[in-house]
């Protein structure tokens, strides 16, 4: 089990949330424990660590135009969670969000489709504290303006005399 203190809790808007997660792969859990121990003894700032990571990635993959970043790993986790079909409250909790709306910013489920999430909330976690949207979105993804139904045979053509590309006047 891993307990993560929300990184944005000290921010002005108090946005971050603590979470306790179960890592289902022992090797990954060992790596996390090792990294947490190293980081607890490290005198470097987060910026210095991020810059060092960038330098190392560039030396490893010098011909690549884009390199992995700590943020891109976070987006990949979001993609994997979306593809896994987890409910929004669980995804928000794992990512450390206080609201289910925040998950929409991270990743695309299509890029996580062939991967499995090995992270889950610890037993007994109360997901009811994760906020759900109070009202439908005013604009953008998820907003329903109206419903238009087409019969399967019409393939998108408007009703009335056929004007499709294969129509022959007869």
Confidence label for 155 from pLDDT (cuts 50, 70 and 90): low
Mean pLDDT of the chain: 81
Statement: the pTM of the whole predicted model exceeds 0.85: no
Residue-wise pLDDT for 85-104, tens only, equals 888 899 999 988 888 888 88
C-alpha separations of 99 from 74, 95, 96 in Å:
17, 10, 9
Q: Where are the domains of the chain?
A: 2-133
Residue-wise pLDDT for 5-43, tens only, equals 877 666 565 666 788 999 999 999 999 999 889 888 888
CA distance 130 to 93: 7
CA distance 38 to 30: 12
């Amino acid at each position: 089990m891993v307990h993560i203190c929300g990184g944005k809790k000290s921010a002005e808007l108090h946005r971050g949330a603590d979470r306790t997660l179960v890592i289902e792969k022992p090797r990954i859990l060992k790596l996390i424990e090792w990294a947490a121990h190293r980081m607890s003894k490290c005198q470097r700032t987060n910026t210095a660590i991020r810059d060092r990571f960038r330098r190392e990635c560039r030396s490893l993959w010098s011909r690549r135009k884009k390199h992995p970043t700590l943020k891109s790993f976070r987006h990949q986790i979001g993609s994997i969670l979306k593809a896994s079909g987890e409910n929004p409250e669980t995804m928000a909790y794992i990512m450390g969000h206080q609201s289910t709306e925040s998950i929409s910013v991270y990743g695309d489920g299509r890029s996580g489709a062939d991967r499995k999430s090995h992270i889950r909330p610890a037993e007994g976690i109360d997901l009811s504290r994760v906020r759900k949207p109070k009202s439908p979105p005013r604009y953008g993804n998820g907003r329903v303006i109206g419903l238009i139904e087409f019969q399967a045979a019409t393939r998108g053509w408007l009703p009335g005399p056929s004007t499709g590309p294969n129509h022959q006047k007869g």
